[in-house]
Amino acid sequence: MLPNKHTKAENLDIDNLTPIQITKELDKYVVGQKKAKRAVAIAVRNRVRRRLVKEDIRDEIYPKNIIMIGPTGCGKTEISRRLSKLTGTPFTKVEATKYTEVGYIGRDVESMVRDLVNTSVSLVRKEFQHKVKSQAEKNMKETLLDLLLPSSQNAKSDEPFLEPDFASLNLSEMGVHIQKGFQVKVPEHHEKAKNSKKTKKDLEREESIQKKASRVRKILSRKLDAGELEDRDIELESQASQVPSVQVLSGGPNLEELDMQVQNMLADILPRKQQKRRVSVSEARKILVDQEMEKLIDTEKVRVEAIRRAEQMGIIFIDELDKVCGKKASGSGIDVSREGVQRDLLPIVEGASVNTRYGTVKTDHILFIAAGAFHMTSPSDLIPELQGRFPIRVELEKLTEEDFCRILTVPRNALVRQTIALLETENVHLQFTPDSIKEIARFAFEVNEKAENIGARRLHTIMEHLIDDISFNAPDLPKNQRDIVIDKDFVVNRLASTVQDRDLSRYIL
């Protein structure tokens, strides 16, 4: 059985996180790689320290960007991703191979900053939504009551509420009609009475009707709270979520990015169409809460805070940097996606102002973490100017058989935990013995040695091949066969022949 020593993950206060605490939190998800964890922990702590120094020197302190060097599957991306979730900072991951030099077809390097700002806006918006959610839910409930009981809107107004049939109903009869969804209609012979002078009898009668409507509204409110009206259909008016698609230009360099910017501009300028939909009360709750939260949120504050966080706390992870690093080419062709990209990356990493949908963003204090295997090249093959912008270099260790054992069981998102949880949904109960874990790790390490080393990703391939039959037959297994123990013999019988056949293992594992 696996130890269940982890509690629910949550963002921690970055100001109170020490480097030791950061590494301990990262240990919950990433096995080994202590040097890399120390490097990113110090980098995060330095951002806190920078905010506490005097203003005259604060702007002169720049982040120490990091290059992680190590084979695929050893934890480079996972460390950066978990660091972002841990500290609640804006984070975006990009592939260096997607970018080309300005003037060629491909993505412009500035788009990574736009991606970061979009992530920051989404992060800040969620925080603002959390603050106003309770008030939005109250407003949503009142709107739902208005939709379920149209007569209550009339009861709130100053106009005389003249409906003899409604007035004559007792409370229980009124509730029955409301459950059927009747619409209150003012008879024609009372239209003129609206403009006539109210008599004392009319006022008393109107007051009585309003009291009954108020009581019915309270009954409906209790039914809503009890969940008795969740399946009722109501007509709801909401904004159309899609903006008409317009293609500005076709072909040419970087025009895809231009198209996206024009689409965003149209979304801000063009009015949103209102559309009527019939939805259940349960679905209407979600729609109305979202609408109410949007009304309560100050979009300008969201924009300002999002840009501030992107500039001061943002992290951009540039993967596959080694793919744009190489010996200087002869002058064209491959140089477009290599040294040309490096030259364009330089001003972004060094510090530049990038125009985004939400405003201008300065990249001076964004932390850049680059990573690559560097099998055929080395960081010294980067252009000298870019090398100087990544002063910290960390080499990640190759994963051992013991590391594989720990990866299978220790992290919160351990592969064995995921496999057990998935099959629990089919009422199939798996149990991995300690010797089976060791055997899976041994096979994974052996295949990595014989074939291409893909690190911890090999465990996913091994595990899927191991439980292939169980996963396929799980829904149809008899009750007496739903408790399955996976031991060493089970693993050997499933994997030994495939691993030993070198040609077969290269294609299957």
CATH at 418: 1.10.8.60
Q: Are both 383 and 443 inside the same structural domain? A: no
Is there a domain that residue 187 lies in?
A: no
Domain count, the chain: 2
Domain boundary among 380, 395, 410: 395
SS (H, E, C) 238-272: EECCCCCCCCCCCCCCCHHHHHHHHHHHHHHHCCC
Q: Are both 40 and 75 inside the same structural domain? A: yes
Work out the number of other CB atoms within 10 angstroms of the CB of residue 79: 26
CATH at 119: 3.40.50.300
Which of the four pLDDT bands, split at 50, 70 and 90, describes residue 217? confident
pLDDT for the residue numbered 424: 93
Is there a domain that residue 347 lies in?
A: yes
Q: Are both 106 and 21 inside the same structural domain? A: yes
Is there a domain that residue 1 lies in?
A: no
Q: Does the pLDDT of residue 193 top 80, yes or no?
A: no
Which of the four pLDDT bands, split at 50, 70 and 90, describes residue 71? confident
Domain boundary among 373, 395, 417: 395
Q: What is the CA radius of gyration of the chain?
A: 31
pLDDT for the residue numbered 59: 85
Among 1-15, 24-38, 184-198, the range with the most confident prediction by mean pLDDT is: 24-38
Domain boundary among 395, 411, 439: 395
Q: Are both 386 and 461 inside the same structural domain? A: no
* pTM for the model: 0.74
Which of the four pLDDT bands, split at 50, 70 and 90, describes residue 197? low
Q: In angstroms, rounded to a whole number, what is the distance separating the alpha carbons of residues 280 and 262?
A: 36
pLDDT tens for 406-459 read 999 988 889 999 999 999 999 999 999 999 999 999 988 888 888 778 888 889
| Cα dihedral 161/165/170/173 (nearest 10) | -120
Is there a domain that residue 236 lies in?
A: no
Is there a domain that residue 286 lies in?
A: no
Domain of 85, in residue numbers: 14-124+302-395
Q: Of how many residues is the chain composed?
A: 509
Structure tokens at 98: 């997607």
Q: Are both 422 and 344 inside the same structural domain? A: no
pLDDT tens for 280-293 read 888 888 888 888 88
pLDDT tens for 334-364 read 455 577 888 889 999 999 999 988 999 999 9
State the sign of the Cα–Cα–Cα–Cα dihedral 180, 183, 186, 188: negative
Q: Which residues pair with 235 in a beta bridge?
A: 278
**When comparing pLDDT for 28 and 155, which is higher?**
28
Q: What is the mean pLDDT of residues 249-260?
A: 52
Which stretches does DSSP call E strand in 144-273?
233-239
**When comparing pLDDT for 498 and 171, which is higher?**
498
**When comparing pLDDT for 170 and 325, which is higher?**
325
Q: In angstroms, rounded to a whole number, what is the distance separating the alpha carbons of residues 113 and 150?
A: 49
Is there a domain that residue 343 lies in?
A: yes
Q: Report the mean per-residue pLDDT for the chain.
A: 78
Q: What is the mean pLDDT of residues 402-408?
A: 91
The label of the residue with tokens 């996606």 reads: 337
